[in-house]
A and B are shown apart, each in its own frame.
Chain A
Amino acid sequence: MSSHEDPSAPLQGAPSKNTERKLKNETRTQLISFLLMIFITSMAFISIGSDAVPNGFAIPFILMLAGVQVVLQLYFFMHMNEKGTGWINVMIWSGLFVAALTVGALMFLIGEVKY
């Protein structure tokens, strides 16, 4: 970094053609993933809210939908699919792994049922 760079100067100029094209594509991708999320969420609510879907099916189904939606958020809205996010992927998935262990332990290993 050059020592004469001023970090509080307003950034001037327009993005490059390449960036413009990328951003345009991105807008489309994001809108599609948003619509997908709305759809997924509605499916989850409907499968619980309506009597047509048996609970034995609905519960694993909505858990799966939640998983899909979280991956959409992480990889599209939060850009974890981009290059240079290796360490971020490591930390987020490690966090999810430890969180899953915690949830499992607190659900099943609290002495109510012996495994």
Chain B
Amino acid sequence: MADHQAVEKQTLPPNPEKATLDGRNKYLGFWFFLGGETVLFGSLFGTYLGLRGGVVDGPGPADLFHLDLVFIMTMILLTSSLTSVFAVINMKRGNYKGLLMWMWATVALGIAFLGFEIYEFYEYYHAGLGFTTSAFASSFYTLVGTHGAHVAFGVSWITVLLIRYKSTGLTLTNAPKFYTAVLYWHFIDVVWVFIFTVVYLLGIGG
């Protein structure tokens, strides 16, 4: 708030997200949060791996999973990681329009991913895999659902940022916000790498 000071033009620093103490705090704090999230997802993966044999009378992994669908979802999320990388490169270049454009692309890919995931859950449900069917079902839906919730939160977060800052230009305040949102998005992709490997590929292969 600039109630007793004139608005002064700021020049673009090489790393606008880390140019202020606030920005550096956000950047570091958010990384540490991701360190905690690693354990959070580790616990979910462990639970799933411990319980994935507990299918009882319900369908098991090999009856349900389709590699083609998972492959498409993986490619979508991987590409969205690249678009968010481009967004950050544009931010450092001072090209605000480019930042916004690539972030919108990320949001669009995120929504597409969510759409596939909802379709996937719908299919499984109709194939007889309810949330309470078996320990495998519960732990599968919890793990993949928590990841999906992260995607949904990321999509909404980035959308809020994009609308709020659609015409302000890059500032020392919003640069760390975009940067942390991008970190979060990459982290979602990191988790998905383990999900497609451990849940889907191992589910079909072993």
Contact = CB atoms under 8 A, between A and B. Distances in A.
Same assembly: yes
Interface of A: 1, 4-16, 18-20, 23, 26-27, 30-31, 34, 37-38, 41, 44-45, 48-49, 55, 58-59, 62-63, 65-66, 69-70, 73-74, 77-78, 87-88, 91-92, 94-96, 98-100, 102-107, 110
Given A7-B173, A15-B12, A55-B206, 18 more contacts: A6-B2, A8-B172, A9-B9, A9-B172, A10-B170, A12-B12, A15-B93, A26-B89, A30-B86, A55-B205, A65-B197, A66-B197, A92-B38, A94-B35, A98-B38, A103-B42, A106-B50, A107-B50
Contact of A13 (B11, B31, B202): B11
A70 B192 CA distance: 10
B47 interface: yes
9 contacts: A6-B2, A6-B8, A6-B10, A8-B173, A11-B94, A13-B94, A23-B89, A41-B78, A44-B201
B14 A11 contact: no
Contacts of A23: 89, 92-93
Interface in B1-60: 2, 5, 7-14, 16, 20-22, 28, 31-32, 34-39, 41-43, 45-47, 49-50
Interface centre among A7, A49, A110 (most CB of B within 10 A): A7
Interface residues of B, number: 67
B28 A99 contact: no
A22 to B, nearest CB: 8
A45 B70 CA distance: 9
A14 B5 CA distance: 25
A113 to B, nearest CB: 12
B118 interface: no
B35 A1 contact: no
A88 B35 CA distance: 8
B20 A7 contact: yes
B136 to A, nearest CB: 14
A66 B202 CA distance: 12
B81 A77 contact: yes
Contacts of B36: 95
Contacts of B160: none
Interface in B154-206: 168-173, 175, 183, 186-187, 189-190, 193-194, 196-198, 201-202, 204-206
